[in-house]
Structure 1
Amino acid sequence: MWKNYVYMKTKIYTSLFLTLGLALVLFTSVKAQTTEIRGEISGKVLDEDQKAFPYATISLLNAKDSTAVKGTLTGDNGTYEFKGLNAGKYLVAIYVVGYKKTFKGPYAIGAERKLYEVGQVQLATDAKLLKGVEIVKQKPLIERQIDKTVLNIENSVLAAGNTALEILQKAPGVTVDKDGKISLRGKQGVNVMLDGKPTYLSADQLANLLRSTEGNAIQSIELITNPSAKYDAAGNSGIINIKLKKNRNYGTNGTASAGAGYGDNYKVNGSLNMNHREKKFNIFGNADYGFNKRFQETDIVRVNGTTANPTYFDQTSHTDIKRTNRNYKAGIDYFINDNNTLGFFLNGYHTNGDDAANVLTLIGDQPGKRDSSVVAPNTNLRKYTGITYNLNYKGTLDTLGQEISADMDYSRYYGKQNSVFNNMYKNASGQPLKPDYIFRNASPSIVKIWGGKVDYTLPINKAMKLDLGLKTSFVQTDNNFLFENFTNNQWASDPGKSNQFLYDENINAAYANLNKKFKSTTVQLGLRLEQTNSKGNSVTDQKVVKRDYINLFPSIFINQELSKDHEVGLSYSRRIDRPDYGSLNPFIYYLDLYSFRQGNPFLKPQYTNSFELSYSFKKSLNVTFGYSHTNDVMTDVLLTDTVKKTIFISVQNLAKQDSYNMNMSYPVQITKWWSSNNNLTVYYNKFQTPNLLGLPYESGRTSFNLNTSQTITLNSSTKFEWSGYYQSKQVYGTLLIAPQYGIDLGASKSFMDNKLSIKFAANDIFKLQKSQITSAIPSQKYVVNEKWESQVFRLTCTYRFGSKDIKGARQRSSSSEAEGRRVKSGR
């Protein structure tokens, strides 16, 4: 044991030192390269009130023929810059709808002068264009970019009081089921990141984290359906990156927020975000608190047994769920000089949960007839904690745009569930039938993750760029499952139902991305190599599953500008999804006496090949067609046991999945005060496997999601919104999921020069949200109906204080990318 421990530690530190060693080699080698004449032009844009103008469109033109050379947007402080310019004469064009177009220059870049500061340029309103319309300078709710869709949540009324998970339900092409599992364009397996960093959580823990992340802390959400080779190959349906707000002012500044909500139960939330910046240091931190009490009702009607000897179950349960969430982050950036920055941060969360369920199971040999029943008041206490430490470095090596960055991470997660199941047997008249069956289980788990990565960017010339990177990660998990029966007025251990599961994993990766810009065509070629070494050890059962494999993951992106208003794009990528650590755990997690979830240590990773064709008209109407093929697709399978008369869920590998999808979005400015965003996703999922319950299995269905949001802007400080969604009936694996839909409303008002804002939001105002699941397997007969506390009214107040117009904390992408999100909590 000690030798294995020392060997493992040696591998970890050796890999990390090699990774950082490569960073040093790259750093010293690129410094030795010769430099060419490269110039820089920068400036700042002001509005008619001489305030910083964010998101203004800036074009760099060739002074000779006014052809476009580069383009950019001003930042939050109104500044812009063009770097790495070749020798020549340039013009700067500034253009914003409702303002007169402004030209500055020409500026001659050469050996005699390389740097130009345009200075502050104040824009003047264009009376011909305005015609009395008030211009509000803010990003649209939904933006389409070449490689992603961006939701600008910061100014959305509906974000007030809502959590990140609730906001994702409104995102185009995104669906969130009752358990918080996220799908993108009809496919599960989404890699969710915060500020470009992995969340290090399982589906359950991720849902808890997103429920505790308040909407007023979110700046934007990025939907990346076909990621490049720079990203981890995990996530067959893409990446969702949630970017949190950042302070941007020199001195001390921050944001304080407090909110309350009520549906059938009350909820409260609060947050504090602070930033202090000086010339050499930037210190930042935030803390969030949330308390949420809600209910969930479940009704399971099923028939079990043979045709000649059926048993009918009608099970109803009401669960009161309490969650207390605390999240925190703190860090510091040290600016060594203008080109080198060293940073450190820690990020953690703490969640406590208390579930109280009342379960009634009616049992009979005919529908609607009760021969006996089981009454079960069950309790479940949950506790999850996690913390991540990150040490990072970023260096700008020259004015050509060469950059190198390095990250080292250590994460530790602890989770525990203590569940007690009280089963009281009754006869048809409600009298005791036999002695009560009482049992309990505890499932403590510890996960440790070490990681290191290096990324390097080399601009070969003004039209070509090369990205290179290395990464290594190590994961160790220790899961225990302790089962005890209550007999003779005392608890007694049941070794036959207890188990310990150990899992070790090492992933080493390298990638290269080459981006080339032609006259009207952009091409990006990428290749990622990942080596995986894993070992699962079910200690009690003495079962060991060991896997070692190497995979290549190519990616291709082509974007063609047909004309000023028309663009088309084509992309391809190969991806992998490895089983999360909890799904590999062979434990049996009881939901109640007759319902449970069981892990599968023999799960194999799934591989996906994805193709996407896109078309854009005036960067407003966007249409995307996609196809993907997945082998060994992992999916939840809900089955009944005819012998034990139970129903259980396990994750299994089906042979393949074929997915076709079409996504269309079109924002419409109906009037000067009424704007609309609309998104339609149509998809067809087909699942096939040669053997499921002894027979070939095939399922497929065409489904669609429709999202719409309407914004009414009375003036710059008052706004109303409503949004609605509809998800049609769909099939996923062996499950048929009934339609789901809902409507939300919101309003906001700001005061004190936008320092104070009050937002009101009403979720699911007509109480329409519910879930129904049936089996796509003809021999499995069950109906699962669920209803939860979906109608909630919230009021949120936010106050901003401190300085303005500085750069905030740097956003880091830590080195453990996808490992942590596979941490599986007990159920």
Structure 2
Amino acid sequence: MMTIMNHKKYHTCLLMICIFLMNIGLTKAQNPVSDGEISGKVLDETQKAFPYATISLLNAKDSTVVKGTLSQDNGTFQFKSLKAGNYLIGFYVVGYKKVFKGPYGIGPEKKSHNTGSVQLSTDSKLLKGVEIVHQKPLIERQVDKMVLNVENSALAAGNTALEILQKSPGVTVDKDGKISLMGKQGVTVMLDGKPTYLSQEQLANLLRATEGNAIQSIELITNPSAKYDAAGNSGIINIKLKKNRNFGTNGSVYVGQGIGQYYKVNGGLSLNHREKKLNVYGNFNYGHNKRFQSTDIMRVNETSANKTYFNQTSSTINNRNNSNFKAGIDYFINDNNTLGFAMNGYNSNGKSTANVNTLIGDRPSKTDSSVVATNPSKYKYTGMAYNLNYKSTIDTLGQEFSADADFAQYKSSEINDFNNIYLNAAGQTYKPDYLFTNQIPTKVNIYSGKVDYTYPINKETKLDLGLKSSFVKTDNSYLFQNFLNNTWVNDVTRSNQFLYDENVNAAYANIKKKFKTTTVQLGLRAEQTNSKGNSVTDQKIVNRHYFDLFPSLFVNQELSKNHDVGFSYSRRIDRPDYSNLNPFVNYLDLYSYRFGNPFLKPQYTNAFELSYSYKKTLNLTFGYSHTSDVMSDVLLTDTAKKTIFISTQNLATQDSYNMNLNYPVQITKWWSSNNNLTVYYNKFKTPNLLGQPYESGRTAFNFNTTQTITLNPNTSIEWSGFYQSKQVYGTLLIDPQYGVDLGLSRSFMDKKINLKVAANDIFKLQKSRITSTLPSQNYVVNERWESQIFRVTCTYRFGSSQIKAARQRSGGSEEEGRRVKSGG
């Protein structure tokens, strides 16, 4: 019955799209365009297409501005729906001479004009004397996403990508590096518009290895269109890395230092060379980070016969070295065709030592015995990704074709030693020490290819089509050894090898039509998935083959000049991380461990969002989503083994309600404020957890505020704070978290030198406390980490800065499909 109902849903979606296409044809036939139009193309001094030039439509009678626009990637521009009258066209670019064309008369006898190719020439006087002080706001709210412009933020200097995400509006990151957006886990994280395909643990390692100085901006997309992969029930986070677009040869070098409980250092170099046909770029960043973390677990192991009280304290010192780089080349075949190659990689290696002391007794505060452990570990994570891309702008109407081919390989190696000493109440050894070790090598290969095509049906209607195929192959080994008779002996009962292969084939269609005050976009994405999980040692194989349709709908209505409302719907999927499918038992210490679940099923989400915008500034959204077979971490106690463990299970459903308010305020000319409030309610239900029905839910909220004070064109101060209220996720009850950061930025020598001073968690407030929503689970987990850090970062920019303002891409107009030209 459910299958029939699902097919009916899909047929209904297809029927809606067909009706919509027929409507377009009828509208076009019954309502022919009667308004005027002026179009053309802008060229630079080398006769190359000039993107993002400012173009104004002027009244020829008094030169008053009627409307304005920017030229596209291929230099073209267009003014549509013009009333009868005489017009001038003005071209304005910093560092170039102003140009005026016209007048052009719009009337019944002629409704369309083309200015032809307008070439701009540099103004040497302006280039010498101009000083560009405009800077993008830290947080921008766009129609389909929120953008964090962290490139020039003092608070981003010296932090890693994961630490920057922790400060982002609506984003939370837990102690294991798992990311939630608007109160929901299941976020797809992309680098330069490309999915990482990594497990949560591997993704956290990648983000910890990515220095914040390498990041240009972060895009938060809560309800993606069919053009994006259907993965990610809470949306997409796209991290865009820096890339210099200045002509000539230029670059920058920076060095930074930090001090918390331990010393930190980071630095980097960026180089770029651009000429008429060629753009070559590269950057390298390095960071050394020594940090402290403490974890205390108090729990009661209760059986029908007795109770056992555990009080475990651990302190860990982690010494980590991170490096990441990006390099690429763009070849501009001509004005309309670009071929590019890009590569990026990271390396993270280090050592950590955890000192664990576990007190055990039959009553609180009484110690009958204890276990003292010293657990050292070594690790290394590396990754390389390669991209070959091609983009063709077929005509000036916006017809485009792009193709991408990608290959990535990630490797990791961990060696964890556990040295446990058993002591009695008097502190004396009462049985032999227990020493064991595990080695965890992992290898991941990723292959993907995709093509995208954009076809403008008419001036108001655009069709996007695309195909994509990806292949992921992972090889995970787990070698468990005990130290017996002065030698290491392999424990075959705890060692294993797990192989996982996944292939996803996808096709999508998006059609977008703009009416007078209404914009409608319909999309449909089809994905066919083939996966195979093979636990070699256990001889368990799980094969899956399934096909899904993912419809999406976006409607935006301009109520008036200052008021806009929107509605969106999308269906999405989250496939299990292959690390969560891996059945290994991975020990954290003697009494705590985690293991995978090879029988995890994918979760499906239907998400709805209603939005309101006032003057494109105050933005309010209301969202609801329903997720079936929701995957959730479950922290439980094993009363027989007297241990505590984490596993991922499918709960039946999650219903999520959220409200987000983003309000940037220009308090004075020198003081701007951006405030973001997210309120959400997550309700989890499942018919059987530990043998009985389970239901939990709680209203929670996150609040972020950033204050920017501009003392003069060279000096600014940033202050930011966040508060995350008590919340429930799955079976975990998480106490409030909060913190305050402060930063100062100062430029010297015509902005060639920039000095940033920042303090993270200046009041040392950040900590974590977790309990269980299950009455039978009696535990408290307290964590504190080295969050209070003071940093100084100095950056020096050198080389050519020719027409930087004109060539710098605008985040507001950049679409996901344009990333081909940016080199990946």
For the superposition of Structure 1 and Structure 2, which TM-score range results when normalised by the shorter chain? Answer: 0.7 to 0.9
Partner of 1:19: none
Partner of 1:295: 292
User: Which amino acid in structure 2 is aligned with residue 205 of structure 1?
Assistant: Q
Q: TM-score, normalised by structure 1?
A: 0.86
The alignment partner of 1:367 has SS state of: coil
The alignment partner of 1:158 has SS state of: coil
- Displacement, 1:208? 2.6
| Match of residue 500, structure 1, among 488, 497, 509 | 497
CA distance in 2, matches of 1:618, 1:57: 21
1:374-422: CA deviations, max 9, x gaps? 0000011111111112111111111221111111112111111111100
- Displacement, 1:164? 2.1
CA distance in 1, matches of 2:461, 2:765: 52
| Match of residue 181, structure 2, among 181, 184, 187 | 184
- Displacement, 1:94? 8.5
1:430-482: CA deviations, max 9, x gaps? 10010011000111111111111100011111111100000011111111111
Residues 162, 94 of structure 1: alpha-carbon distance in 2 compared, 3 angstrom cutoff: farther
- 2:243 equivalent to 1:246: yes
Partner of 1:421: 418
User: Which amino acid in structure 2 is aligned with residue 452 of structure 1?
Assistant: G
CA distance in 1, matches of 2:642, 2:92: 69
Partner of 1:28: none
- 2:77 equivalent to 1:82: yes
Partner of 1:115: 116
- 2:642 equivalent to 1:645: yes
User: Which amino acid in structure 2 is aligned with residue 443 of structure 1?
Assistant: I
CA distance in 1, matches of 2:251, 2:740: 33
Residues 614, 113 of structure 1: alpha-carbon distance in 2 compared, 3 angstrom cutoff: closer
The alignment partner of 1:411 has SS state of: strand
Partner of 2:157: 160
Deviates most, 274-283 or 355-364: 274-283
- Displacement, 1:727? 0.3
Partner of 2:364: 367
Partner of 1:20: none
1:617-666: CA deviations, max 9, x gaps? 11111110000000000011000001001000011100000000000111
Residues 138, 802 of structure 1: alpha-carbon distance in 2 compared, 3 angstrom cutoff: same
Partner of 2:40: 40
1:569-627: CA deviations, max 9, x gaps? 00000000001111100001100000001011000000000000000111111110000
Partner of 2:668: 671
Residues 94, 563 of structure 1: alpha-carbon distance in 2 compared, 3 angstrom cutoff: farther
Partner of 1:10: none
1:698-747: CA deviations, max 9, x gaps? 00000001111111111000111111100000000000000000001110
Partner of 1:263: 260
Please list, as runs of the form range in 1=range in 2, the aligned pairs for 1:470-509 lying within 5 A after superposition: 470-509=467-506
CA distance in 1, matches of 2:156, 2:589: 36
Residues 91, 242 of structure 1: alpha-carbon distance in 2 compared, 3 angstrom cutoff: farther
| Match of residue 448, structure 1, among 429, 442, 445 | 445
Contact 2:481 2:489 in 1 (8 A): yes
- 2:354 equivalent to 1:392: no
- 2:561 equivalent to 1:564: yes
CA distance in 2, matches of 1:143, 1:112: 35
1:187-221: CA deviations, max 9, x gaps? 11111112212234322232233233333332221
- 2:738 equivalent to 1:741: yes
The alignment partner of 1:165 has SS state of: helix
Deviates most, 171-180 or 451-460: 171-180
- 2:524 equivalent to 1:527: yes
The alignment partner of 2:586 has SS state of: strand
Partner of 2:128: none
1:518-553: CA deviations, max 9, x gaps? 111111100000000011111111111111000000
Partner of 1:319: 316
Partner of 2:344: 347
The alignment partner of 1:291 has SS state of: strand
CA distance in 2, matches of 1:521, 1:121: 40
- Displacement, 1:495? 0.5
The alignment partner of 1:192 has SS state of: strand
Partner of 1:306: 303
1:475-505: CA deviations, max 9, x gaps? 1111111111000000011101111111111
- 2:658 equivalent to 1:657: no
- Displacement, 1:70? 7.7
Contact 1:453 1:815 in 2 (8 A): no
CA distance in 2, matches of 1:781, 1:715: 56
CA distance in 2, matches of 1:294, 1:245: 27
Q: TM-score, normalised by structure 2?
A: 0.87
Deviates most, 772-781 or 803-812: 803-812
CA distance in 2, matches of 1:702, 1:190: 20
Contact 2:42 2:71 in 1 (8 A): no
Identity %: 71
Partner of 1:611: 608
| Match of residue 623, structure 2, among 623, 626, 640 | 626
User: Which amino acid in structure 2 is aligned with residue 82 of structure 1?
Assistant: F
CA distance in 1, matches of 2:282, 2:345: 12
Structure 1, unpaired ranges of 5+: 1-36, 46-52, 123-133, 818-827
Residues 425, 153 of structure 1: alpha-carbon distance in 2 compared, 3 angstrom cutoff: same
Contact 2:71 2:77 in 1 (8 A): no
Displaced runs of 4+ in structure 1, greater than 4 A? 53-71, 73-76, 83-96, 101-105, 107-114, 118-122, 806-817
User: Which amino acid in structure 1 is aligned with residue 644 of structure 2?
Assistant: I
Residues 57, 277 of structure 1: alpha-carbon distance in 2 compared, 3 angstrom cutoff: closer
Contact 1:595 1:647 in 2 (8 A): yes
- Displacement, 1:71? 5.2
Contact 2:421 2:433 in 1 (8 A): yes
User: Which amino acid in structure 2 is aligned with residue 362 of structure 1?
Assistant: L
- 2:403 equivalent to 1:403: no
User: Which amino acid in structure 2 is aligned with residue 722 of structure 1?
Assistant: W
The alignment partner of 2:151 has SS state of: helix
- Displacement, 1:305? 2.8
Partner of 1:763: 760
The alignment partner of 1:478 has SS state of: strand
- Displacement, 1:326? 1.3
The alignment partner of 1:157 has SS state of: coil
CA distance in 2, matches of 1:385, 1:812: 30
- Displacement, 1:56? 8.9
Contact 2:761 2:788 in 1 (8 A): yes
1:228-251: CA deviations, max 9, x gaps? 000000011111112222211222
User: Which amino acid in structure 2 is aligned with residue 418 of structure 1?
Assistant: I
CA distance in 1, matches of 2:818, 2:562: 39
CA distance in 2, matches of 1:69, 1:307: 81
CA distance in 1, matches of 2:44, 2:328: 29
The alignment partner of 2:206 has SS state of: helix
CA distance in 2, matches of 1:68, 1:583: 59
Deviates most, 274-283 or 751-760: 274-283
CA distance in 1, matches of 2:777, 2:87: 71
- Displacement, 1:183? 0.9
The alignment partner of 1:417 has SS state of: strand
- Displacement, 1:170? 1.9
CA distance in 2, matches of 1:121, 1:493: 72
Residues 94, 149 of structure 1: alpha-carbon distance in 2 compared, 3 angstrom cutoff: farther
Higher relative CO (Cα under 8 Å, sequence separation at least 6) belongs to 1
| Match of residue 542, structure 2, among 545, 559, 570 | 545
| Match of residue 374, structure 2, among 374, 377, 382 | 377
User: Which amino acid in structure 2 is aligned with residue 115 of structure 1?
Assistant: G
- 2:139 equivalent to 1:142: yes
Contact 1:407 1:815 in 2 (8 A): no
Equivalenced residue count is: 757
Contact 2:224 2:570 in 1 (8 A): yes
Residues 423, 38 of structure 1: alpha-carbon distance in 2 compared, 3 angstrom cutoff: same
Partner of 2:222: 225
